[in-house]
Structure 1
Amino acid sequence: MKNIIATAALSITAAVASTAAFADGHADPVEMTCAEFGALDIADQEIALSAIVAEVEEQMQDDVVVGEIAVLCNGFDDDTVASRLDTMTDS
């Protein structure tokens, strides 16, 4: 039981730390470029994607996964992730 509690506490601490690190670097997730998104580690990409999808209208969060962003952003490093997600909703 002690190990389960210690593991849970460590997981929560890591999640809070990565969320704070993401938030410090990106005040407005909608303005994040594809290049910036690609430079994040996978945990921060998931956090960023949740924040971006929450801001993009007509996009269901369950419909988007981190792997799709790499495909959408391929060759569009200077575009924002939000603008690339908009192209996904237009089709």
Structure 2
Amino acid sequence: MSTETAETVDVKGQNCPMPVIKTKGAFEDLDAGETLVVVATDSGSMSDIKGWAESTDGAELLEQEEATEDGESVYKHYVRKTK
């Protein structure tokens, strides 16, 4: 995705609930219109971060990607703060 991000949260190697907890903390520091990218290795982060964004006022999940880096699955989540 080519969206410019304000901050990247690297939660590789961390399992539920840490990706959502760290996403929430970083999201609170964003200004409206800024985008956060979360990079995780926990496959559960796909549904966890989607659910968090859907239940959080002002959070818009723009995209989720799955890629392979060094033989390991990596999940990227792009979340925009709308207000």
| Fold equivalence (TM over 0.5) | no
Task: Report which of the two has the higher share of strand.
Answer: 2
Task: Report which of the two has the higher share of helix.
Answer: 1
Structure number, greater radius of gyration: 1
TM-score scaled by structure 2?
A: 0.33
